[in-house]
Structure 1
Amino acid sequence: MTGLRQRCLLCALLFMGWLSNSHAFGQDFVLVSMNNDMPAISESKAKMLYLGKLKSIDDFGRVVLLDWPEGSNEKQDFYKSFLKKSIPQINSRWARLAFSGKGKPPESLDEATVQALGQWLQDNPRGIAYVSREQIPPGAKVILDIEQGAGR
């Protein structure tokens, strides 16, 4: 019986570790803009934008994307949960696109704050940024609500 209890305890600990590392209870992200004319977009279009496969939105035109700073939890969580990509995979993809002249990576915030993100969006009327639902800057328009677990 002792061996069984030890195995059950070990399984429970491994499961709890998996939950904490898998972001199973991670952030729900939204895409936002400060431009009221920016249309809502689909999850597939958002993925295409952040993978560099799309540069504009129908009936709106070219958009500018924003990333959180390199090394930030927001950036890592967003790419891992939404695009199923690691930061090195995303950086490699954007480097290839930039080298071939087919794309320009998203601009990066200098500091990981909602205030900096909100100011960037104010300064870039064609800008789109991702934030957790709890971080939506005042006055921002949600153009896509990415539910945890949806489309994954």
Structure 2
Amino acid sequence: MRIKHLIGMTIFLAGTLFSVQSLADIAIIVHPSNGAALDADEVSRIFLGKAKSFPGGATAVPVNQAEGSIVRTAFDDGIIGKSASQLKSYWSKLVFTGKGTPPQEVSSEDEIKKLVASNPNMIGYIDAANVDSSVKVALTF
């Protein structure tokens, strides 16, 4: 019985490590004309609605990937520091009290790139492997 348990745990851990390693870096992207230097705390504040502008003063409009995507989960954990359920609770309270609205959510990385490339105020995140010249990388993690 212990050997079956050990084998099961080994397979689980190997699968977990493989899925984490298969995810490339995540790039926080902005419009190419955006000159703002961003760190993880500033990005988190923008996506939590605590900051409404980039450090230079321009309005910041965050856009999220679809809930449940691997990149969204990594972003929420790595930059925001909250799980999906914690974020739902956070935004529910702000929406209920009229103090905030969650970022727009889109279904694909291509859609995020198009939005960010067409609007100097947008900020989003995608798998770094999908970055092209239409957007500027402000931060990777």
Fold shared, TM-score > 0.5 on shorter chain: yes
Residues 97, 137 of structure 1: alpha-carbon distance in 2 compared, 3 angstrom cutoff = farther
Tell which structure's C-alpha radius of gyration is larger.
1
RMSD: 2.6
Larger helix share, 1 or 2 = 2
Equivalent residue for 2:37?
A: 40
Letter in 1 for 2:50: K
In structure 2, the gaps of 5 or more residues are none
Equivalent residue for 1:19?
A: 17
Equivalent residue for 1:149?
A: none
Residues 61-109 of structure 1, C-alpha deviations (whole Å, 9 max, x = no match): 3200001123333222321333332222212212222222322211111
Identity of aligned residues (%): 24
Query: 1:38 Cα deviation (Å)?
Result: 3.6
> What is the distance in 2 between the residues matched to 1:24 and 1:84?
20
> What is the distance in 1 between the residues matched to 2:57 and 2:15?
44
Instruction: Compute the TM-score of the two structures, normalised by the length of structure 2.
Output: 0.79
Letter in 2 for 1:108: E
> What is the distance in 1 between the residues matched to 2:68 and 2:46?
21
> What is the distance in 1 between the residues matched to 2:65 and 2:5?
41
Instruction: Compute the TM-score of the two structures, normalised by the length of structure 1.
Output: 0.74
Residues 74, 11 of structure 1: alpha-carbon distance in 2 compared, 3 angstrom cutoff = closer
Equivalent residue for 1:96?
A: 93
In structure 1, the gaps of 5 or more residues are 147-152
Letter in 2 for 1:85: K
Equivalent residue for 2:127?
A: 132
